Every structure is written in C-alpha cells, then in structure tokens.
Amino acid sequence: MAQRSRHEASWTSADATVRGRRSGRGGWIMLALGFVAIAVIATVAFNRYMNFQTVTFELRECTAPLTAVSTWQEVQAAACDPAPIDGDVLTMWHEGSQSSADATTETSWTFEGVPVNTVTNALEIRTVEASETVVLAEPDNQQIRRALTSDAAGLRWSANIGDRGPTTYWVLVTPAG
C-alpha cells in the first residue's frame, strides 16, 4: 500500500469536509465593513435628527414696539408690514460659525442647510437706522419667539433662535421714535 503525503487530498466519503486554515483577511474585512456601516448610520441619523432645512427671515417694520411677551393680537395691531432691506444685514451663527444669507429678496434673507433642531443657532441683524425694538416672530404659529437685544446705538441686534423652530420667521423692527 502506497503512502500518501500529508498535503495530498484523500477523500474517504461524499460527506467529507475540507479542513484547513482560513485566510486571515476575513476578520479585517468584516471589521472594516462594520466601521463603514456605523459611520453611514451615524451620518444619516445625525442629518435626520438635526433636520437641515432652508430658513427664511422676512423683515417687517412695525408702528408700535413689541416685546418677547407680546401677543399675536399686539403684532397685528402694530401693523407690521414687509419692509425693504435697504442695507440691513442679517447674519446667522451656528456653534461659533458665522454665515451670510444664501439668497436675498427685496424684503427677506434665505439661509440653506440650517439645522433647525439645535439650540446653537443665533442671529444678528445690523440695521442702517436705529431701532427701538426688534423681535423674532413665527407667523405660522402666530407667536413671538424671541426679543433681540441691542447695542447702545440700537443698530446691532442679536438673539439665540432656540431649537425645533419653523422655517419661516418674521424679523419685526420698530424704528426709534
């Protein structure tokens, strides 16, 4: 009877299994695919949670001063009509990064890709003329969201927007009397 080498295959039955050492690359490939899957899931979840939207701020001039506690009836009584921007500048801040409007019209500023579900959004408006009050309103919800604070000259106004906001705001400005 002839002797067989150890590396020679010898089949003894149809149910025989091949025994041997698997390649060492399989584990690394699975680990890399796992990291890629986690990164994709985290990115999609982050984008969905932060809810990136296009946000528009319309400038409106009011005939009476408004505060953070003003009612919607007071906003209507103040006759806040759309006003031309005419040199006024609105800037958004997010986590210390400043951004200018992506688009402007005669009476509004539009920002794209704003994460509306975060508390780190803020805005600043610099007006050409001094103002008595500036408030941020939500026309869809018919409520005042924030009163902006000003510098001593009444030309630079700012406030934190807050989280989970709408995509359309009114910036209600009451000129200084």
Tens digit of each residue's pLDDT (9 = 90 or more) over 100-131: 999 999 999 999 988 888 888 999 999 999 99
Q: If you ran DSSP here, which 8-state letter would residue 13 be given?
A: S
Name which of 107, 122, 111 is nearest 173 in CA terms: 107
Cα–Cα distance for residue pair 37/94, rounded to 1 Å = 28
pLDDT tens, residue by residue, 42-82: 877 766 767 788 999 999 999 999 999 999 999 999 999 99
Res. 89: pLDDT tops 90: yes
Cα–Cα distance for residue pair 42/37, rounded to 1 Å = 9
Residue with token string 């359309």: 168
Q: How sure is the predictor about 7, in pLDDT bands with cuts at 50, 70 and 90?
A: low
What is the distance in angstroms between the CA of the first residue and the CA of the last residue of the chain?
116
Cα–Cα distance for residue pair 175/147, rounded to 1 Å = 15
Using a pLDDT cut of 70, give the percent of the chain over it. 83
Strands 52-61 and 168-175: parallel
The per-residue pLDDT for 24 is 63
The per-residue pLDDT for 15 is 61
pTM score above 0.85:
no
Token reading at 126: 């610099």
Span 151-167, average pLDDT: 89
